[in-house]
């Protein structure tokens, strides 16, 4: 095992990406927003039953992605009935991995929804290994009366609408379970003014 991150020569010699030494998530492979850029402002997702797709993520060749993490902001979910993550390849919008539908994890509040101001990490049901450096979207699906707001970088309005989009959303609506998501994912132009935090590990 190399003594220092810059001595790493193969993907499996270390579980930590040497370029993300200060990530909020242990063993992070990629993250959309550096820790120092995360703002206190709340960012809205795509809304209930619509896939929020967060870019600015590249999985290095050979790395195995097993988990995804997002960071909620000040608004907790109310009446949440579906909550899961997915990984989508940017080049063709094919779904690479999905988590189970989760409403029983430690970050979820007793009221039955994602709590505010908390990191939520979910495991993909089948981990995915990148055959080459691969730009991806880290995706979130919520079905709730009130969806959880998100933390991230608050102002990137000038790049939102440039393809590949920094933040976009599915044109498919009424999504509920992971099985109900169509692959490849059809999406709209970018939206919003901020970049939610996503970490892959």
Provide the pLDDT for residue 18: 53
Q: What is the domain partition of the chain in residue ranges?
A: 16-200
In this prediction, the residues of the chain whose per-residue pLDDT falls under 50 are: 1-16, 105-107, 110
Provide the pLDDT for residue 134: 96
Provide the pLDDT for residue 192: 63
* DSSP letter assigned to residue 92: T
Contacts of 129 (CB under 8 A, 6+ apart): 62, 63, 64, 65
Give the closest residue to 181 by CA, choosing from 63, 99, 70: 99
CATH of 16-200, one of 2.60.120, 3.30.70, 3.40.720, 1.10.3470: 2.60.120
């Amino acid at each position: 095992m190399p003594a220092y991150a810059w001595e790493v020569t193969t993907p499996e010699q270390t579980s930590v990406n040497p370029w993300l030494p200060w990530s909020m998530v242990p063993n992070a492979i990629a993250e959309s927003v550096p820790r120092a850029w995360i703002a206190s402002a709340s960012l809205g997702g795509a809304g209930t039953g619509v896939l929020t797709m967060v870019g600015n993520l590249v999985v290095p060749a050979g790395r195995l992605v097993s988990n995804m993490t997002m960071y909620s902001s000040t608004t907790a979910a109310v009446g949440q009935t579906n909550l899961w993550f997915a990984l989508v390849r940017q080049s063709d919008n094919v779904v690479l991995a999905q988590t189970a539908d989760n409403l029983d994890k430690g970050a979820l509040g007793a009221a039955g929804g994602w709590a505010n101001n908390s990191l939520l990490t979910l495991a993909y049901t089948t981990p995915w290994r990148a055959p080459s450096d691969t730009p991806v979207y880290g995706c979130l699906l919520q079905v709730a009366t009130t969806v959880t707001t998100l933390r991230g970088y608050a102002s990137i309005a000038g790049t939102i609408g440039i393809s590949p989009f920094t933040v976009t959303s599915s044109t498919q609506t009424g999504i509920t379970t992971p099985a109900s998501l169509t692959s490849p994912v059809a999406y709209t132009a970018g939206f919003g003014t901020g970049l939610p935090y996503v970490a892959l590990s």
